[in-house]
Chains A and B, each alone.
Chain A
Amino acid sequence: MIVALIVMAVLVLVGAAVLVRRRRRAVPMLAPVAREAMPEVLVAEVAQRPVLVDETQFLESRLGSSRSIFDRVRTISSIGSLSQDQLDTVEEVLLRSDVGVATTAAILDDLRENGAPDGVAAAVRDALLASLGADRSVTTTAEPGRVPVWLFVGVNGVGKTTTIGKLAQRHVSEGRSVVLAAGDTFRAAASEQLQQWADRTGADIVRAAEGADPGSVVHDALGRAAARGADIVLADTAGRRANSTNLLDELSKIRRVADRDPGQVVETFMVLDATTGQNALSQAREFLAAASVTGIVLTKLDGTARGGIVVAIERELAIPVKFVGVGEGVGDLIVFDPKAFVDSLLDA
């Protein structure tokens, strides 16, 4: 009954505020000041992100590139320590990539300490790569007799359903039979959306009416998968804000259902939109606690956002990024490559 306490606290607050306000009513009001003119554009030209790497290539094409990264390093400084100017440039690059104030400061500290024997870009790259050293392997098999489940969680609109479509394609093309669980029973037409991905990829799907219990959808999908000897279940969930214990509890419940025989959750992916800023860190913290997240799928890296917040997430919470979304097509998913990612962070 923490409830009572909360209610009382609210009462105290509201009561106090209203009471004081009433007493103040007597104060004569001054004539309203005329509204100032609308402010103009605050920043006419947003400064271009400064470049630490001198090539502007697409993340995807860079993945295929066999050239050594160090060939492409523009050496801003020679051997030795970094100037304040250089540190400022690095700070700007990192902040503009959403790496965040704290992580950026930590990386700058590393730089100050270690200097830049091979140039600033190389030093920053090393510092970033050192934060991205986690194991990124994915598990596709469960204990004998159980069906492996990949569960997808995240806030609204990040690309959970789309990612499932893309991964279904991947599994199918690797010869696995897939069952999709349309566990988003909340958003209008969400299961219809997943259905279309099932049709597109040839995956099997279990869905239920809007408002149905997501746990039972997952349960049914497991039953279906076990009966048909399917190789893997990909379970969608409704987008939920990460600051609601209710919604997170519901998620924990879904995960428990998915992890019950014959199912076994072998991966829980938090899907994260690359445009997300510092809130991503609290999303990761909450979803990790509620659903034991094992990896991140970073979507929309085909856009202009850098997704630098994953550096902070890996440093602080050790959740590895495993896949990257680079478009809306069924093939627009790649395995996360830290080097290519770091290059794209440092690149304009």
Chain B
Amino acid sequence: MFDALSERFERLGSSLRSRGRLSDADLDEALQEVRSALLEADVELGVVRAFLDAVRERLSGEALNQSLSPGQQVIKAVHEQLVEVLGGSPLKVTYASRPPTVVLLAGLQGAGKTTAAAKLALWFKQQGRQPYLIAADLQRPAAVEQLRVLAGQIGVDVFSEPSDPVDVARKGLAEATRLGRDVVIIDTAGRLSIDEALMREVRDISDATSPHYTFLVIDAVTGQDAVFTARSFHETLELSGIIVTKLDYDARGGAVLSARGVVGRPVVFASTGEKLADFDLFHPDRMASRILGMGDVMTLIEQAERTMDASVVAESAGRMMSGTFTLDDFMAQLNQVRKMGSLGGLMKLMPGVTKEMRNAASNVDDGELNKIEAIIRSMTPRERGEPSVIDGSRRTRIARGSGTTVNAVNQLLKQFAEMRKMMKQMSGGGMPNLPGGMGRMAGLAARASAQRSEQLPPGFEALGAGMSAGGPVARGGGGKNKKKKGGRVTPPKQR
């Protein structure tokens, strides 16, 4: 998908390049490509149109930036507009002065409300709160039971009874107050926005509990219908925000933009996996890159900075560049990377990774990584520093020592040798010949990282490359894209 948009721009590139500044015709053509990309990402048609108008305005209002190629200028405008529409920065959740803070979840059938309720409870718990769950989905068979099981896993209590959803919500809230819980999360049945009776019911639940936050739970794979659903729920419930689920699917997630676009409320949380901990505040800038299909280099780098031991990384990265990388370095790095999370998850953040690579990475489990470690541990320090000394008999010994096969040892050594070669190439300025376009990615990651405080958002240079006027692009003083701070939305209503 990433390739889809960048390739499109590349096709346009030659004509844009030859002129050096953007004519109306160029812009039309470029925006046409953006339109297709957005539609393929499931952004709703009306939202796409309004979006393109806004981008056009942004570009025509702005004096042409001398330091950017026309293509980069378009991309930058598209990204900025995406970030703006998605909401400049994550919502800061504030709490009611008179607890409990009440959170109501609503949405279509199968959107993932019940799981989101449990995940949200865990999230609040991690914020030092004492959440309480109300299971008011009495519609779907075993929905209450599902919430009870999930809540049990995170040690949160659930209120429910087989009566009527409005009663359940009211009684549950009273119970939470009695128990002194400070956050109450109400799970409701899935409902269609055109089902008047059920929409009235959720309205009644809302009236009976006066929630401080009402979130629409929406599935990341949703298509054009997202706007209709979001608007109907907003009209009925006055949403305070959106929770997007199933972001671990390979969908581009344009529905997020659609929903955000029509209700004008921020996307607050994102659910990214089956585990209850796979849930966090939503990052608009990252979603913008995703909708455009550009991976998420910033998250990757932040994750690296947060979890990795900087000195270890810097040291071995230095040796990496100088081509003196050893198996010890490899193991040290491996341990650092493992701290960051699953390889599959990391690969997902990288732009331009082929699906095969991604799938392969998501299949790497701890067992296999342990095997690699075992092999390296079975080597002598000398062998680790100088793998070329490892002959046949040493290989047999290492295989035996690590409980693996000679074949596995051979492969590891072969690949390590290849990797060393690639690193040398890379430090020599050339792009390494990694499989599956990884070389391009490595360069991309490095450049994106370097660009952070400059004019272009992460990952954008590659996109713009096809359109750039050739030669290095001079970059003026930046700071424009620096993270915007603050951003609290809709203070809780007083109850």
Binding site for B on A (CB under 8 A): 1-24, 27, 29-36, 38-43, 46-47, 92, 95-98, 100-101, 155-159, 186-190, 192-193, 195-197, 210, 241-246, 273-280, 282, 300, 302-306, 309, 328
Of the candidates B41, B88, B300, B344, the one whose C-beta lies within 8 Å of that of A38 is B88
Q: A327 CB to closest chain B CB, in angstroms?
A: 9
Q: Does B442 contact A (CB under 8 A)?
A: yes
Instruction: For the complex, give the distance between the alpha carbons of A43 and B47 in Å.
Output: 6
Are A17's CB and B50's CB within 8 A?
no
Are A155's CB and B249's CB within 8 A?
yes
Q: Given A21-B450, A277-B224: A11 and B330 within 8 A (CB)?
A: yes
Q: Report B-chain residues with C-beta under 8 Å of the C-beta of A156.
A: 110, 112, 246
Are A21's CB and B221's CB within 8 A?
no
Q: Given A19-B318, A276-B222, A328-B140: A29 and B453 within 8 A (CB)?
A: yes
Q: B198 CB to closest chain A CB, in angstroms?
A: 10
Q: Given A7-B334, A101-B36, A189-B146: A42 and B445 within 8 A (CB)?
A: no
Q: Report B-chain residues with C-beta under 8 Å of the C-beta of A43.
A: 46-47, 49-50, 227, 261-262
How many interface residues does chain B have, given as a range?
35 or more
Q: Given A15-B316, A16-B445: A189 and B109 within 8 A (CB)?
A: no
Q: Given A43-B50, A277-B251: A3 and B263 within 8 A (CB)?
A: no
Give a binary string over B44-59; 1 marks a CB under 8 Å from any A CB, 0 the rest.
1111011100100000
Instruction: For the complex, give the distance between the alpha carbons of A264 and B300 in Å.
Output: 46
Q: A79 CB to closest chain B CB, in angstroms?
A: 29
Q: Report B-chain residues with C-beta under 8 Å of the C-beta of A13.
A: 300, 350, 438, 441-442, 445
Q: Report A-chain residues with C-beta under 8 Å of the C-beta of B453.
A: 24, 27, 29-30
Are B452's CB and A24's CB within 8 A?
yes
Q: A270 CB to closest chain B CB, in angstroms?
A: 14
Give a binary string over B78-119; 1 marks a CB under 8 Å from any A CB, 0 the rest.
000000110111000000000000000000111110000000
Are B45's CB and A243's CB within 8 A?
no
Q: Does B385 contact A (CB under 8 A)?
A: no
Are A4's CB and B42's CB within 8 A?
no
Q: Report B-chain residues with C-beta under 8 Å of the C-beta of A243.
A: 249-250, 355, 358-359, 362
Query: What would be 16 A-B contacts, judged by CB atoms less than 8 Å apart?
Result: A6-B343, A6-B361, A15-B316, A16-B443, A17-B449, A46-B227, A96-B45, A157-B111, A188-B146, A188-B150, A189-B143, A241-B248, A276-B223, A277-B222, A279-B42, A303-B193
Q: Report A-chain residues with C-beta under 8 Å of the C-beta of B208.
A: none
Interface centre among A4, A5, A100 (most CB of B within 10 A): A4
Q: Does B412 contact A (CB under 8 A)?
A: yes
Q: A165 CB to closest chain B CB, in angstroms?
A: 8
Q: Given A156-B112, A303-B225: A196 and B141 within 8 A (CB)?
A: yes
Are B320's CB and A12's CB within 8 A?
yes
The residue on A at minimum CB distance from B483 is A32
Binding site for A on B (CB under 8 A): 36, 39-42, 44-47, 49-51, 54, 84-85, 87-89, 108-112, 139-143, 145-146, 148-150, 192-194, 219, 221-229, 231, 246, 248-252, 254-255, 260-264, 266, 274, 297, 300-301, 304-305, 308, 310, 313-314, 316-318, 320-321, 330, 333-334, 337, 340, 343-344, 346-347, 350, 355, 357-364, 368-369, 371-372, 408, 411-412, 415-416, 419, 422-423, 426, 432, 434-435, 438, 441-443, 445-450, 452-453, 477-480, 482-487, 489
Instruction: For the complex, give the distance between the alpha carbons of A302 and B195 in Å.
Output: 9
Are B221's CB and A7's CB within 8 A?
no
Are B301's CB and A18's CB within 8 A?
yes
Are B423's CB and A12's CB within 8 A?
yes
Add 14 more A-B contacts to A189-B145, A275-B225 (CB < 8 A). A12-B320, A12-B432, A14-B313, A18-B301, A24-B450, A29-B479, A39-B264, A41-B262, A42-B47, A155-B246, A192-B141, A273-B219, A277-B254, A306-B224
Q: A106 CB to closest chain B CB, in angstroms?
A: 14
Of the candidates A95, A159, A302, the one whose C-beta lies within 8 Å of that of B192 is A302
Q: Report A-chain residues with C-beta under 8 Å of the C-beta of B359.
A: 243-245
Q: A22 CB to closest chain B CB, in angstroms?
A: 6
Q: B454 CB to closest chain A CB, in angstroms?
A: 9
The residue on A at minimum CB distance from B152 is A188
Instruction: For the complex, give the distance between the alpha carbons of A190 and B222 in Å.
Output: 23
Q: Report B-chain residues with C-beta under 8 Å of the C-beta of A20.
A: 446-447, 449-450
Instruction: For the complex, give the distance between the alpha carbons of A300 and B441 in Å.
Output: 40
